[in-house]
Amino acid sequence: MSVYGKNSYVATSGILRYCIYMVKTEEIQVATEGGCSIVDITDQVAEATANSQIQNGAVVVFNIGSTAAITTIEYEPGLVNYDIAEALEKIAPQEGFYEHEKTWNDDNGHAHVRASLLGPSLNVPIVEGQLTLGTWQQIVLIDFDTRPRTRRVICQIIGE
């Protein structure tokens, strides 16, 4: 039998173990240039995770807004300054035609499409208090909008 929730008992191999599940939420702010700018937010997510004091669980990193995405990347100049932008330009070109721009008379249809494809959030397992990232794997926010923005990113840490 397993019962999950706050202050629940979890039976594992016949041994009853008392677990206290916690949820901690922290907001970080990220200044961006827009135009497919990629910002490394690994240190801020690691800090939020450390502040939570949760040792085992996961952190959900979620961008509030529909024109930026959260993912991981090897944060090196080739990918960050060229390759991602060029790949996305083929899929959702900035100068393409978008019905969205007729709806609002704006210029960021491509930004919405790109953000939807990559997704607004990332889930990173936490083991022994550490994010389980690879050495060449950084957490990034990619802002596709057509102007500089200050992004609000929620780090919600769930675990024990």
Binding residues for Zn ion (CB under 5 A)? 106, 108
| Shortest distance in whole angstroms from residue 113 CB to Zn ion | 10
How many CB atoms sit inside 10 A of residue 71's CB? 17
Nearer to Zn ion, 93 or 125 (CB): 93
Nearer to Zn ion among residue 89 and residue 106 (C-beta): 106
Nearest distance from C-beta of residue 106 to Zn ion, angstroms: 4
Q: Are 129 and 47 in contact (CB under 8 A)?
A: no
Q: In what order do the strands lie in the sheet with 130-131?
A: 22-32, 149-159, 57-63, 121-127, 130-131
Residue 26 or 106: the one with the smaller Cβ distance to Zn ion is 106
CA-to-CA separations, 28 to 116, 141, 155, in angstroms, rounded: 21, 12, 7
Question: What is the smallest separation between the CB atom of 148 and Zn ion, expressed in angstroms?
Answer: 16
Judged by beta carbon, residue 40 or residue 106, the one nearer Zn ion is 106
Q: How far is the CB of 107 from Zn ion (least distance, A)?
A: 8
Residues 6+ away with beta carbon under 8 Å from 67: 108, 111, 112, 115, 143, 144, 145
